[in-house]
Homo-oligomer: A and B are copies of this chain.
Amino acid sequence: MKRSPLTASRDVFAAVGDPTRRRLLDLLSRGELPVRRIAAPFAMTRPAISQHLGILLRARLVEVRRDGRERYYRLHASPLRRIHDWVRHYERFWKGKLTALGDFLDAEEKKERRR
């Protein structure tokens, strides 16, 4: 699978694949914040946070609002819907409702393969 240099910037899955960025979203789910405030609880420099925010921005997971010299970032959760929908497909598997059917299908497929 080709991965252009900006994959994580666009792909919600990749964007959320990083634990720091997940923490950022969690933090922003409490309400909008200026960068300085966002960066404070993290053990990394502000530019690093800025870069993570840039990735979240390009994945449309956050929005910015300028106010004087500050930039307030706020959560924009809707792209997470894509992940939600994808995972939801698998819900039936871990809920066990499909175990029997799954096994049945597996067996059927094995028969198929033998032909």
Contacts and interface: CB of A to CB of B under 8 A. Distances in A.
Given A13-B22, A14-B17, A29-B89, A80 B102 contact: no
Contacts of A75: 90, 93
By DSSP majority rule, is chain A's interface helix, strand, loop, or mixed?
helix
Interface in A65-100: 74-75, 77-78, 80-81, 83-84, 86-91, 93-94
A105 interface: yes
Copies in the complex: 2
Q: Which of A19, A29, A84, A87 has the most CB of B within 10 A?
A: A87
A1 B29 contact: no
6 contacts: A1-B18, A1-B44, A29-B89, A29-B90, A78-B93, A83-B83
